[in-house]
Structure 1
Amino acid sequence: MPPCTSIFCEVLDARENGGLEEVHAVHKDTIYDRRDESTYDVFPLSKLEQIVLDNSTYMQCKVYVKDIRSVDESLLNNGVVDIALIDAPGLNSDTTKTTAIFARQEEIDVVVFVVSAANHFTQSAKEFIWAAAAEKAYIFMVVNGFDMIRDKERCQKLILEQVYGLSPRTFKESSELVHFVSSNAIPMGHAPPGGPGGSGSGSSSGGGGDEPSNDPKGKGKEKEKLEDFQALEQSLRRFVLEKRARSKLTPAKTYLMNILNDVHVLATVNAEVAQHEIDRVTKDLEEIEPQLESSKKAKSEVGDQIDQTIESTCKEIYEHARNTLNSAITHAGDTTLGVPYPGLFGVFDFADDLKEAMLNEISTAVTDCEEHARSRTVGGVNAIKQLGILHLGNEYHDLSFRSDVMFRRRRDALAKEIDLPTEIWDLVDWSTLMQRQEKVAGTGMALTLATAIGGRLVGGSSWVDHALSAAKIVGNDNLRKLVVPTIVLAVVSAAAYVLQQVPQSLPHRLSAKLSAQLESMDYVHANSTRIASSVRKVLRFPADNLRVGLTRSVEQLGSRRDETLKTRTESEVALKYFSNLVRNSAHQRTLVADVDLDAHPQAGVA
């Protein structure tokens, strides 16, 4: 067949064309239909070389030829299956088209690769054979121009070594699949009766129908060349027809082995990845679960500790404020609190100033309680902050706290609420006077007793005698006249004494009235509760912030644990699946590899 550039030539049995030997040249961009003559042009076989060389008009040729040999010798007319020989462009001419033809795996029984004995395998040929060997287990190798090689054994050895590296299975059966031939020994016309070795004359390459030389050595070489081609054709025929199971099923077996190998590799890799993922998440769980338990425990313990801190702080502040205010109210009337006494005529102004001083003293006590509560609040906030840093670390978000904004209120609120009028009876504190009289009386009695006892010890009852003597001298009438002046003098003296005791009596009276009124208002409890409640409210902010942080930490750890458990479950399912896939793919690969394509069908089934 003439050299082919970019035209595909498909050689078919002439019986498919009604027994006619001809060439159907298909136009470019046309789909060939043998029953539609508009899709092709008909030429005789003698025009084939011209059509192929002028490849600008046609894209492919359908060549119908007759093989007059018997069905036992012919490849096309084999009596078993219809066979077509496709002559694709060379790799150096059009690799893309050649590869596209080769991609029709289901239609190709065998690839016949022709290589020059002088040039061996080019890089493009190696790449093509390497790709073909991955799909086709066996490739026919035809080494042409072998008669031009001087050291044939060395050439044959080198080519077989290259075949071994490109297609080991082909090398294993190289006696059937690798053929060294010379194309110049093939006659271009029909062989004479009796075949190449018959009595008739045959054509040889370059002979043009001339008789071969009478040299027996030359005649023997030509015969060997023809026998090499006959061996090639018979090997091809045996492979396609007699070993059809191998020719058709070997690609399928190779394909299945490749698929199973890929599945096995992918399953193995995925199983390893799943196992690594299980190991990783198991290690993560070993770290997360103790942290989660510790976080839950810390949340409970810190919550209780915060509550105890707040309650103890508020209780202490309440008790301190209550004691401080009770003491301030109780002792408010002990002194005049630095208020000067202007005299009897300014006694009511003195009472108002004294009342204001008492209220200021109580307000100062309230302020002191607030300052104490403020300092205790700062300590409580810092204690809560330390707990947050201890249990949350960098995740704890500290809140800004300003103690100076606590207890903002008007200072004259108490003065407006208290209505404490001064009455005339407030100027006299009978309880104080009685206490003073008891003290004076007690002292006078003690002196009298001491004098009496001393006088008796000294002079017996002489003082009684002197008293009786004085009464006798004055007389009863004079004694009666002295009674009234004595009483008036006593009343005046008592009034003067009471007025003199106003600076001491008035504070006690006002303090008693103020205490009674404050007690009716529940002043001490209300202010103590107010201060403690303010502290409790302030401490609740960092406490709630810490609780939220602890809760968020528990939730985040719980979410991480759930995600990790989910990942571990998915990884375990994946590991189980891919492990089964590894085992099944290995088993299926073994079964496919054990299939003997050369065995008899019955034996294969058995």
Structure 2
Amino acid sequence: MMKNINQQQHSHHYRAQANSIKTHSVSSISSEAEAEQLRVLSETKKFLNDRDTLTNVIDQSDQLIQRLNQFAQLHWSLVHPQLLNTLEPEQQSNFDSSKPPQSNNALNILCLDNLSIPHRRTSGGGPIDASLLNNHQSLASSMLCSRLQSVQSHLADIRTRVLDRNSRILVTGDLNAGKSTFVNALLAREVAPTDQQPCTEVMCEILDRSHIKSPLEQIHAIPHGSLYDIEDPTTYVTFPIDKLSELVNNANEDSEDSGDDENPSSPYQLLKVYISGPDPRKARAEDGLKASNAISLLRQGDVSVSFIDSPGLNRDTLSTMELFSKQSTIDVVVFVVSAENQFTLSAQEFLWAASQEKAYVFVVVNKWGGIRDKVKAERRIREQLRKLSPATWEERTELVHFVDSQEAITSAQQAKLSSEDHEISTEIEPFDHLQRSLSSFVFLRRSISKLQPAQTYTRNLLQDLQMITATNLGAAKNFYDDAQAKLEKILPRFNQLSANSHLVDETIGQIEENTVSLVYKNSRKILVNALKNIREGKPAQSSKSTDAHAQYFPVYDGILSIFQYAEEVRKVLLSSLEESVKLAENVARQSTAEAVEAIQDNSVTKNLIGEEQDNQSKIGDRKFNPQAMFSKTRKFPLATSNGTHRAGPSGHCASKLGIATMSDLVDFDRLNWFKSTSSSKSIEKYINSSSTSTTTGLVGSLGFGTLTLFGTGVSGGRALVDALVKVSEIAGTKGFRKWSGTVVAIISVGFGVYLIMDIPRAIPRNIGKKLERELNSMINTKSTPNAVQESGEEEAGIRWIDYEIERMSKETRKVVRLTGFELREKFRNTFESISNQTDQFKVDLEHAIDVQNWLTQYEHDVNQVLGDCTSVNMPCSVTS
């Protein structure tokens, strides 16, 4: 009994101990589940917070780009940092030898290349030669503005992708790398058409059927130019799933028939294939594949995944460009490379461009089973990948996979038929590892697959904006220093010109007045002396030699040629007076030439204008030719150019003045008694009217010619009357009557002889006085044709001499003023140029200050947004 009691006690103890252990085990399991739920909830909450932060960063980055673009277009020509780089020839060698050159001024997103595709270094693109941009800074600024606009569009796609809870996986690679086979292996079913020849011409996006409301699997073929809307059946064409191979093959056949490999003739831009995941038990029974992987890769909970099977990169240029442009809408890039060909040039360029946004890229080295020397091939692929995507290389255990998709499918099918159903070949293990890694990357590491590409892109973009801002701040500072230096250099000269501008007008005006005054004085002196000599019957230019005077005048041949003699004397006097006018003009030319030289070489104006501007302006200056002065035919010439006095347009006045008249023989100014009845002009008019009589009639009237006596000044009219009165008193005596006849005869003969002998001296005097009156009358008549002067009281030598002096003064003033005008124009141009430069430098200074203030504030904003971007803590690796 005691034994049973002891056994019961032990049994009860063990039962209690077992219950205790069971209770503790259940409690432990419950705690682990709660901890897992808390971890998932915490990660979900962190994911949502990080997503909101990145969305805000993207929006602020878009605003920053818009501000910079507007600033560049309206206020400042942006200086690209690439202008500060000099590319070395060895850095432009083969692309697969090294990645594109990096320098302190290298950019990731906003770099300039030779291609029109935005924000990408694509086929044939490489960096632009810096020398081209240095010569065309405006071109670089325009290209940068265009790049900013394309980045804005790219940011919009990234924002849409971040907010989308679903994920898109792009399966791409070189031509015939086995991309479609790889997709079929992932999905555990034959969906994408496969062939030994390249068959994928149309982009095929494979999605879970839960997106559509149909119970059947369908294909939505989207025509070119149509915007797909799943709710609008008019934006796509529906086909059953079994038509997929036919749609793809039709595109291939149409392309081959057209003979255009560059532009496939498929009517559809994209095929959206909606399939349902297979049942796991059915998949195991029929295909031997792990359907759980296929289901998990298409959808897990609320998260859906789509696979995009794309054409080969080197298939044609258009499809390659399309792949590059679609990267902004892709979450994960799975790059399939053939183990036989490894990384081609197009593959390297694609991976380089993808790494600028997506730090991690899944790399699948397909057809690995056919490689003999796997160690050598793997080493070469790893060396290339280390340069193309450093982050991917660091996580190569999870991101780089060496598999054979076709062998994986075949081995799985063979395993179904073997007796050991639970045995899995080791050849399939790499593919299983790839599936697990991809599933974990897409669904469990969403912060890395979904948010980190957006963070990487925005961080690189903001860092580029930092560099561009810093570069332009330096350029604005240099612009400010340059404008300040130029302003300090030119400001003293501007102040000098502004303060002394009146000196130019005063100097030129003084030279002009002095020159005109000198010409007036010299011309008047010459012409007054000339008229004085003419009145005395001498040549206008007197000569100290009596023989020269005799040779100058014509020879008097006697009383019968007296009229011809008077005409020759008139011509000689006119010619000498013309020479005096020419002499006065020559003196005016000399004075004007000296004035022109004085104006051009004036030290005051030279100092103000400056030697450099003066030398430049002298190139276009007109040369002063003194002989060009007075070259215009005068209105009242005294002789023609050849010295004759023929009638004509230029010698009308000269020919008129050169005709001798009867009045040339008499000087009526001495006959005072005639002034009471008629003026001397009326008598001259009467005599001139009878000048048409013959020379014989003139000689026969010598009795009247005795009046010449009174013109010579031998006896005045009153003295003659007094003498006649006294003679009449004496004539009353007897003695006088006796001798009166003889005395009268002797006196008459003697007086006649005297008159005849005095004609060569008296006629030049009469003609000289008459010429002066005619000149004055001619000038007066031309200036006031309706004026009739009857008083006959004229001031000798006033009108004609004033006209000639005024003519010479006007010509001199015109030439001197024209030279002064040219000098004033030089000064005005110089002052205007200096003033404009001064104003421009002041504007440049203000503009540089405004630009620096704007860029400083912009830099602060960029740093703030960059801080928000980097505050999002991403896992350090894909396994953490």
TM-score if structure 1 supplies the norm length?
0.65
User: Structure 1 pair 285/393, CA: closer, same or farther in 2 (3 Å)?
Assistant: farther
Structure-to-structure mapping, 1:91-110, within 5 angstroms? 91=313, 97=319, 100=322, 103-105=325-327, 107-110=329-332
Structure-to-structure mapping, 1:138-537, within 5 angstroms? 138-144=360-366, 156-181=378-403, 183=405, 186=408, 204-207=412-415, 209-212=417-420, 222=424, 224-268=426-470, 270-271=472-473, 274=476, 300-330=502-532, 338=550, 364-381=579-596, 383-384=598-599, 392-398=617-623, 402-403=628-629, 405=631, 408=634, 409-411=636-638, 422-423=667-668, 424=707, 425-428=710-713, 518-519=795-796, 521=798, 524-537=801-814
Query: Is 1:130 the counterpart of 2:352 in the alignment?
Result: yes
- Per the alignment, residue 63 of structure 1 pairs with 275
- Per the alignment, residue 597 of structure 1 pairs with 874
Q: Distance in 1 between matches of 2:232 and 2:579?
A: 122
Contact 2:221–2:272 (8 Å) recurs in 1: yes
Please report how far the alpha carbon of residue 264 of structure 1 lies from its aligned counterpart in structure 2 after TM superposition.
Answer: 4.0
Q: Distance in 1 between matches of 2:494 and 2:366?
A: 79
Query: Is 1:24 the counterpart of 2:218 in the alignment?
Result: yes
Q: Secondary structure at the match of 1:82?
A: strand
Q: Distance in 2 between matches of 1:386 and 1:96?
A: 73
TM-superposition CA deviations, 1:338-389 (whole Å, max 9, x none) = 5789999999999999888777765654443233224433444455566697
Please report how far the alpha carbon of residue 315 of structure 1 lies from its aligned counterpart in structure 2 after TM superposition.
Answer: 1.7
Contact 2:359–2:389 (8 Å) recurs in 1: yes
- Per the alignment, residue 544 of structure 1 pairs with 821
User: Structure 1 pair 396/53, CA: closer, same or farther in 2 (3 Å)?
Assistant: closer
Name the amino acid aligned to 1:377. T
Q: Secondary structure at the match of 2:619?
A: helix
Q: Distance in 2 between matches of 1:19 and 1:530?
A: 111
Please report how far the alpha carbon of residue 411 of structure 1 lies from its aligned counterpart in structure 2 after TM superposition.
Answer: 1.0
Contact 2:207–2:272 (8 Å) recurs in 1: no
Please report how far the alpha carbon of residue 152 of structure 1 lies from its aligned counterpart in structure 2 after TM superposition.
Answer: 6.1
Q: Distance in 2 between matches of 1:15 and 1:357?
A: 130
Q: Distance in 1 between matches of 2:527 and 2:467?
A: 87
Deviates more, 1:329-338 or 1:403-412: 329-338
Question: Who wins on radius of gyration, i.e. which is larger?
Answer: 1
Query: Which runs of 5 or more structure 1 residues have no equivalent in the other structure?
Result: 189-202, 432-480, 600-606
Equivalent residue in structure 2 for 1:114, among 319, 330, 336: 336
Please report how far the alpha carbon of residue 205 of structure 1 lies from its aligned counterpart in structure 2 after TM superposition.
Answer: 4.9
TM-superposition CA deviations, 1:35-64 (whole Å, max 9, x none) = 979711244xxx988997897699664332
User: Structure 1 pair 175/183, CA: closer, same or farther in 2 (3 Å)?
Assistant: same
Query: Is 1:76 the counterpart of 2:298 in the alignment?
Result: yes
User: Structure 1 pair 518/24, CA: closer, same or farther in 2 (3 Å)?
Assistant: same
Q: Secondary structure at the match of 1:114?
A: strand
Q: Secondary structure at the match of 1:246?
A: helix
Please report how far the alpha carbon of residue 102 of structure 1 lies from its aligned counterpart in structure 2 after TM superposition.
Answer: 6.6
- Per the alignment, residue 462 of structure 1 pairs with none
Please report how far the alpha carbon of residue 127 of structure 1 lies from its aligned counterpart in structure 2 after TM superposition.
Answer: 2.5
Contact 2:220–2:237 (8 Å) recurs in 1: no
User: Structure 1 pair 16/556, CA: closer, same or farther in 2 (3 Å)?
Assistant: closer
Contact 1:334–1:507 (8 Å) recurs in 2: no
Q: Distance in 1 between matches of 2:525 and 2:244?
A: 127
Computed over aligned residues only, the root mean square deviation of the Cα atoms, in angstroms, reads 5.6
Q: Distance in 1 between matches of 2:633 and 2:223?
A: 98
User: Structure 1 pair 72/113, CA: closer, same or farther in 2 (3 Å)?
Assistant: closer
Query: Which runs of 5 or more structure 2 residues have no equivalent in the other structure?
Result: 1-183, 185-189, 254-267, 281-290, 539-548, 607-613, 640-652, 669-706, 717-733, 774-792
Name the amino acid aligned to 1:211. S
TM-superposition CA deviations, 1:385-438 (whole Å, max 9, x none) = 66697683213234666136157232176996999852554433589xxxxxxx
Q: Secondary structure at the match of 1:113?
A: strand
Q: Secondary structure at the match of 2:332?
A: coil
Contact 1:19–1:66 (8 Å) recurs in 2: no
Contact 1:139–1:170 (8 Å) recurs in 2: yes
Name the amino acid aligned to 1:40. F
Name the amino acid aligned to 2:278. K
TM-superposition CA deviations, 1:315-336 (whole Å, max 9, x none) = 2222223333443445556677
Q: Secondary structure at the match of 1:369?
A: helix
- Per the alignment, residue 466 of structure 1 pairs with none
User: Structure 1 pair 360/253, CA: closer, same or farther in 2 (3 Å)?
Assistant: same
Please report how far the alpha carbon of residue 572 of structure 1 lies from its aligned counterpart in structure 2 after TM superposition.
Answer: 5.2
User: Structure 1 pair 73/225, CA: closer, same or farther in 2 (3 Å)?
Assistant: farther
Q: Secondary structure at the match of 1:595?
A: coil
Name the amino acid aligned to 2:638. R
Name the amino acid aligned to 1:310. E
Q: Distance in 2 between matches of 1:319 and 1:98?
A: 95
Contact 2:208–2:274 (8 Å) recurs in 1: no
Please report how far the alpha carbon of residue 244 of structure 1 lies from its aligned counterpart in structure 2 after TM superposition.
Answer: 1.6
Name the amino acid aligned to 2:334. V
Contact 1:73–1:234 (8 Å) recurs in 2: no
- Per the alignment, residue 464 of structure 1 pairs with none
TM-superposition CA deviations, 1:207-237 (whole Å, max 9, x none) = 45113599xxxx6xx4655554444333323
Contact 2:577–2:638 (8 Å) recurs in 1: no
Name the amino acid aligned to 1:410. P
Name the amino acid aligned to 2:518. E
Please report how far the alpha carbon of residue 530 of structure 1 lies from its aligned counterpart in structure 2 after TM superposition.
Answer: 3.6
User: Structure 1 pair 100/212, CA: closer, same or farther in 2 (3 Å)?
Assistant: farther
- Per the alignment, residue 40 of structure 1 pairs with 239
Q: Distance in 2 between matches of 1:39 and 1:126?
A: 37
TM-superposition CA deviations, 1:444-474 (whole Å, max 9, x none) = xxxxxxxxxxxxxxxxxxxxxxxxxxxxxxx
Q: Distance in 1 between matches of 2:531 and 2:511?
A: 30
TM-superposition CA deviations, 1:493-522 (whole Å, max 9, x none) = 9x9899799789969996899799544745
User: Structure 1 pair 299/281, CA: closer, same or farther in 2 (3 Å)?
Assistant: same
Q: Secondary structure at the match of 1:238?
A: helix
Q: Distance in 2 between matches of 1:99 and 1:350?
A: 112
Deviates more, 1:370-379 or 1:387-396: 387-396
User: Structure 1 pair 28/271, CA: closer, same or farther in 2 (3 Å)?
Assistant: closer
Aligned-residue sequence identity (percent) comes to: 26
